[in-house]
């Protein structure tokens, strides 16, 4: 850091006298140019990773924004267009916006929703709110970030952008404002709440006397298709939005200090993919890791004393309120008397087929709690007798950047959690962390509506109770939404309406903790966490095969009498064990089941399979196809796949004992084998010849890993919304992303190994587009340059920015 401080100081002294070298050559200004507002030194090391040094947070953001634009200008610009509500203007109203996570809607639907947020000045009001709005350092960081992005666009010009996805696009303009980025941050906060219901909000219309909508009939939990309901709530069991994180404490490590292995499972393209960066204000701030596009702060990372990662939490960020209505129309009933819905008319600029611009109009409706939705498939229709509206806890805060920014200053896991709680803006994730002193932390201190079980029990409507029974989401009585059924406020909460830290689960230990997107209940089987509200998650409930695998990596290592070392912990990432296969193979059950199909060739391959999802493994695809077809159980009934059902006293080893006599299970194997044969996929194909990189412009690089929750791969990969390498069996577009293995060592040292699975640059013409993908394929790690000496050793180029 001393070298970077001296370099930064020297650069500042020279700037008035010399031109500033920038990528691609050129000069910034004549010697008489006044002192710039922003100045940052950017050092690019191997794999295109930027290390940004500045004297203040505004300049730090300036360097971060420039670097983000250089690596991901098309996605960053798309994020700005979306945040402005201008997708229909540039891409047409009927085009689709798919954020690769929970939102899949037409451009017009997205624009109508976002435009109404602008019309209501939602973000502007939060920026002016001293409690729910951002602090000065976060504001400076964001302001600098957009200045850096504009600096890049002024330097390059839209025709100088080489990424074919947006080369020459007219929306590439150096006119990004801080408010644009704040709206982008706000929309990201809504990912697991209002963002799930954009279509249902924009398309909601009151039933008329002539067309009263769907009739309301009593619904029982047993009649509900749980999987379809979860899909509609943004919790698709077949396409989970998740991650793994394991923290091992000093009592279980060879170093006596903390270690962390974090692997967020995120999209490989689009708004929610990561870039890596290292941010330094000498003597004040030094943190590295990864940031989502449009985030100037490190979201997942480390400093000299603590490392952390995140996993998507099971907690809900919203509650639906059901309001009784006196009949079709826009009147609803409350304990204060009948009320009229707020009717909002939104005008959106749209591009017509001939290229000219026109206007489309949409109507949205609100109660004081939030937007009205029309979602009959989710048991929440706008019908003759009632309507539903969503209250969104993340819609009431703009503290996310503050939270991540302040976490980078932490001195240990307890301090990390204290800073997270003070920020009050962790939107939808758990935190798992390790520190230099050997402590480890698991916490779900995210933004959760303050709906304790007694409030839910008193306020659920009949349909709301079914929602709760099937999906864990309490539907509350809107009649009393401003009185007895209003969200409560804890004394220790950062703001009204959310749970305070005392009512949110956390655990600090010195052996190990983990999370793989199951509820908070079992970060370590030695100490289950219980007694928290059901809206946060379930207790004494079944764990996914992925959770069992992530846990067993550590359990099995410690059971041999060996502690975790930096090498062994990061080795778990590429071990590629498949937990479901290990369980099903017990007592020869998987072989017995396959033999019952009479498929001798495929069954021999499955028998000979090494049980891993490595690139050279043979037989993985047979098991993957089988897992996809297994029958599921209705709510409250036994799982038909297993003879021994889940036992809360043995949660990481149950369910088990494959039911080889169940004809549905046998049929699943028969259908899996038949499907492969019908598609001409050889039974003896290596996994790496079938599963390949599928992100934009990537060559078909072979990849290990596989399905997460159902198969039990910790190295979870998925094929969704494929556009590239579609001629391959499984092109990967989702899953393992910014993986970090951080170990604190004696003498203040940090061993930082990372891999960004899809590469630092989204531009397929960049040398940094697929270099790390090839390393990931080969089970290699990037030695992340953390110290001055390491940066100097790996330095590719260095330049100074000002503006």
**Annotated active-site positions, please?**
243
d(CA 771, CA 759): 6
Task: Tell me, rounded to whole angstroms, the distance of Cα 197 from its chain centroid.
Answer: 17
- Which tokens in the block code for residue 257? 């200090």
In this structure, the number of other CB atoms found within 10 A of the CB of residue 287 comes to: 22
- Which tokens in the block code for residue 515? 């999370």
686 close to 619: Cβ distance less than 8 angstroms: no
- Which tokens in the block code for residue 644? 């021994």
- Which tokens in the block code for residue 729? 């069996």
Residue from 201, 182, 85 nearest 129 by CA:
182
441 close to 506: Cβ distance less than 8 angstroms: yes
Strand order in the sheet with 300-302: 506-509, 440-443, 429-435, 306-312, 300-302, 285-292, 274-281, 49-54, 39-45, 795-802
d(CA 12, CA 16): 8
φ, ψ dihedrals at 790, nearest 5°: -70, -40
Indicate the DSSP class of residue 500. -
Residue 298 CA: distances (Å) to CA of 290, 428, 781, 791: 6, 16, 20, 19
Residues 6 or more apart whose CB falls under 8 angstroms from that of 83 comprise 114, 180, 181, 183, 184, 187
CB-facing half-sphere around the CA of 6: CA atoms within 13 A: 4
Per DSSP, the three-state class of 433 is: strand
- Which tokens in the block code for residue 195? 């963002």
d(CA 110, CA 87): 8
- Which tokens in the block code for residue 339? 């009320």
306 close to 434: Cβ distance less than 8 angstroms: yes
DSSP string over 586-601: GGGHHHHHHHTTT-HH
Kind and range of the H or E run holding 306 = strand 306-312
């Amino acid at each position: 850091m001393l070298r970077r401080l001296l370099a930064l100081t020297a650069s500042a002294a020279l700037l008035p006298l010399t031109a500033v070298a920038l990528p691609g050559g050129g000069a910034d200004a004549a010697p008489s140019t006044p002192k710039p507002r922003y100045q940052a030194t950017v050092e690019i090391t191997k794999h295109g990773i930027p290390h940004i040094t500045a004297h203040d947070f505004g300049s730090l953001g300036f360097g971060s924004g420039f670097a983000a634009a250089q690596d991901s200008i098309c996605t960053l610009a798309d994020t700005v267009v979306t945040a402005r509500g201008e997708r229909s203007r540039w891409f047409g109203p009927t085009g689709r916006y798919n954020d690769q996570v929970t939102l899949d809607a037409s451009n017009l639907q997205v624009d109508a929703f976002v435009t109404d947020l602008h019309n209501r000045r939602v973000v502007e009001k939060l920026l002016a709110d001293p409690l729910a709005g951002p602090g000065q350092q976060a504001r400076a960081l964001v302001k600098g970030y957009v200045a850096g992005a504009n600096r890049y666009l002024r330097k390059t010009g839209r025709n100088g952008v080489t990424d074919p996805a947006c080369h020459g696009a007219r929306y590439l303009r150096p006119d990004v404002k801080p408010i644009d980025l704040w709206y982008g941050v706000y929309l990201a906060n809504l990912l697991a709440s209002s963002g799930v219901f954009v279509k249902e909000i924009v398309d909601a219309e009151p039933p008329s006397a002539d067309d009263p909508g769907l009739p309301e009939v009593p619904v029982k939990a047993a009649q509900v298709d749980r999987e379809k309901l979860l899909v509609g709530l943004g919790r698709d069991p077949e396409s989970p939005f998740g991650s793994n994180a394991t923290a091992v404490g000093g009592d279980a490590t060879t170093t006596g200090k903390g270690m962390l292995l974090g692997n967020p499972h995120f999209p490989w393209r689009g708004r929610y993919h990561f870039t890596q960066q290292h941010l330094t204000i000498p003597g004040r701030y030094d943190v590295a890791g990864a940031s989502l596009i449009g985030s100037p702060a490190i979201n997942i990372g480390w400093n000299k004393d603590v490392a952390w990662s995140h996993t998507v939490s099971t907690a809900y960020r919203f509650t639906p309120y059901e309001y009784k209505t006196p009949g079709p129309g826009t009147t609803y009933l409350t304990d204060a008397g009948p009320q009229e819905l707020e009717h909002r008319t939104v005008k959106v600029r749209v591009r017509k087929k001939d290229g000219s611009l026109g206007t489309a109009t949409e109507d949205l409706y609100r109660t004081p709690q939030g937007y009205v939705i029309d979602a009959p498939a989710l048991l929440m229709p706008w019908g003759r007798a009632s309507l539903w509206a969503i209250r969104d806890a993340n819609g009431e805060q703009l503290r996310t950047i503050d939270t991540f920014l302040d976490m980078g200053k932490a001195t240990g896991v307890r301090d990390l959690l204290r800073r997270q709680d003070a920020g009050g803006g962790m939107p939808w994730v758990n935190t798992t962390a390790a520190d230099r002193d050997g402590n480890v932390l698991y916490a779900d201190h995210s933004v959760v509506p303050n709906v304790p079980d007694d409030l839910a029990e008193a306020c659920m409507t009949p349909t709301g109770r079914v929602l709760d029974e099937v999906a864990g989401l309490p539907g509350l009585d809107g009649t009393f939404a401003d009185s007895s059924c209003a969200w409560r406020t804890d004394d220790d909460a950062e703001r009204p309406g959310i749970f305070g830290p005392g009512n949110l689960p956390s655990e600090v230990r010195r052996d190990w903790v983990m999370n793989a997107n199951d509820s908070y209940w079992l970060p370590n089987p030695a100490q289950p966490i219980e007694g928290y509200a059901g809206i946060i998650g379930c207790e004494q409930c079944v764990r996914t095969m992925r959770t069992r695998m992530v846990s067993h990596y550590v359990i099995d290592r410690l059971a041999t009498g060996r502690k975790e070392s930096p090498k062994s912990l990061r080795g778990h990432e590429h071990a590629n064990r498949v937990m479901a296969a290990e369980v099903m193979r017990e007592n020869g059950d998987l072989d017995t089941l396959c033999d019952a199909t009479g498929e001798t060739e495929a069954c021999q391959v499955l028998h000979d399979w090494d049980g891993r999802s490595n690139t050279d493994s043979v037989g993985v695809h047979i098991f993957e196809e089988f897992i996809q077809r297994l029958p599921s159980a209705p709510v409250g009934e036994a799982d038909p796949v297993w003879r021994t059902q889940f036992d809360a006293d043995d949660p990481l080893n149950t369910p088990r004992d494959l039911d080889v006599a169940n004809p549905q299970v046998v049929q699943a194997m028969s259908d899996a084998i038949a499907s492969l044969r019908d598609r001409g996929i050889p039974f003896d194909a290596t996994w790496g010849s079938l599963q390949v990189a599928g992100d934009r412009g990537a060559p078909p690089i072979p990849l290990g890993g596989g399905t997460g929750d159902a198969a039990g791969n910790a190295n979870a990969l998925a094929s969704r919304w494929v556009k590239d390498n579609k001629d391959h069996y499984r092109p990967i577009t989702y899953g393992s992303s910014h993986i970090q293995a951080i170990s604190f060592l004696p003498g203040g040292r940090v061993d930082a190994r990372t891999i960004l699975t899809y590469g630092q640059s989204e531009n397929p013409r960049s040398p940094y587009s697929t270099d790390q993908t090839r390393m990931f394929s080969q089970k290699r790690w990037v030695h992340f340059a953390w110290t001055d000496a390491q940066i100097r050793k790996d330095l590719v180029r260095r330049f100074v920015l000002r503006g």
